Structure 1
Amino acid sequence: MRDEVDELVEAWARERPDLDLAPVEVFSRISRLARHLDLARRKAFADHDIETWEFDVLAALRRAGAPYELSPGRLLRETLVTSGTMTNRVDRLVARGLVDRLPDPHDRRGVLVRLTREGGAAVDGAFEALLEAEATLVAALPAGERERLGALLRELMRPFS
């Protein structure tokens, strides 16, 4: 079955037969798939009244385990944003009642960000919807092929780890 990347590669091969286009076949498909996944993520999150950035913070807190709290510094590392961005995000999540700011009992100057019951419900619902959407996207692949694809993508990610 042909796709739009096949057409793109054929056009480049015609115009630049001197180039190895194998990377284009892989990364153009990954790029297009990423766009489809981003749309599926946005829909899953919107159905639960949260934005993608909100999910990232709430999910980091949820994955931390009970009592579902992290320091702002740890949230920075989990979500790969700047401290100014994180402060803004936590402020907005506090205003929505999805997280609370608490004093850090181990550091008088520090604070902890804790997931509220509402935040937990929002992130759990959004994560379930995301898993359903992602399962639909990979449904055409048998389980063994999904595992193989995951392993291959892990290898592609290795230089960035």
Structure 2
Amino acid sequence: MSLGYPGGDHVDGVLRQWQSAAPDRDASPMALFTRLYRLSKYVDRRVTRVFREHGLHEGEFDLLATLYRSGDARGLTPNALRSAAVLSSGAMTHRLDRLEGAGLIRRTANPEDRRSVLIQLSAAGERLFLDLLDDYLTTLRALQAPLDDTQKQALADALRTLLLPLEATDDV
């Protein structure tokens, strides 16, 4: 059963159904948030496919990306990584163990704190990350292709406006 209409999408059909089923309720917020939810599902599927093609999961990509973009050749402490990725220490340890086992990162002694280690990208990790980054960015560009530059900027600005108060008051 198609819920859209010519020139419309699934959500247009859902909104028509809500209008018919509950005409006394304003379902208009669904126009935005149901589309965001559905879009996130489609994006997640495509991006997950890219990560899997490179043998990684999203969380592992996130850790490698954090290490790469930190610009600190010495590496980052596990706590700094955990904070950036918003992970529990157990989840962080599991991901680090997997990445280290795959030869993508290395743990080195922290010269500033003997009780701590620094996590660094290995040369193999950097190569894999940059290849993956290229494929990831290509995928994101393809996903945003229906938008012109003005629409891309307006959407990014509007989403930032929605995101800022949530980031200020909520843990992700």
Q: TM-score range by the shorter chain?
A: over 0.9
Match of 1:109 among 109, 112, 115: 115
Q: Distance in 2 between matches of 1:29 and 1:115?
A: 37
The higher relative CO (CA closer than 8 Å, separation ≥ 6) is in 1
- The residue type equivalent to 2:83 in the other structure is R
Give the TM-score taking structure 2 as reference length: 0.90
Q: CA deviation at 1:22?
A: 1.6
After superposition, the C-alpha distances for 1:4-40 in whole angstroms (9 at most, x for unaligned) are 0011111111111111112100011001110111111
Give the TM-score taking structure 1 as reference length: 0.96
Q: CA RMSD in A?
A: 1.1
Matched with 2:170 is: none
More strand by share: 1
Q: CA deviation at 1:98?
A: 0.5
Consecutive aligned runs of 4 or more in structure 1 exceeding 4 Å deviation: none
Q: CA deviation at 1:49?
A: 2.0
Percent identity between matched residues is 34
- The residue type equivalent to 1:5 in the other structure is V
Task: For residue 20 of structure 1, give the secondary structure of its aligned residue in structure 2.
Answer: coil
For the pair 1:2 / 2:33, whether they are aligned, the reply is no
Q: Distance in 2 between matches of 1:47 and 1:92?
A: 17
For the pair 1:133 / 2:133, whether they are aligned, the reply is no
For the pair 1:45 / 2:51, whether they are aligned, the reply is yes
Q: CA deviation at 1:69?
A: 1.5
Instruction: Give structure 1 stretches of 5+ with no counterpart.
Output: none
Q: Distance in 2 between matches of 1:68 and 1:139?
A: 38
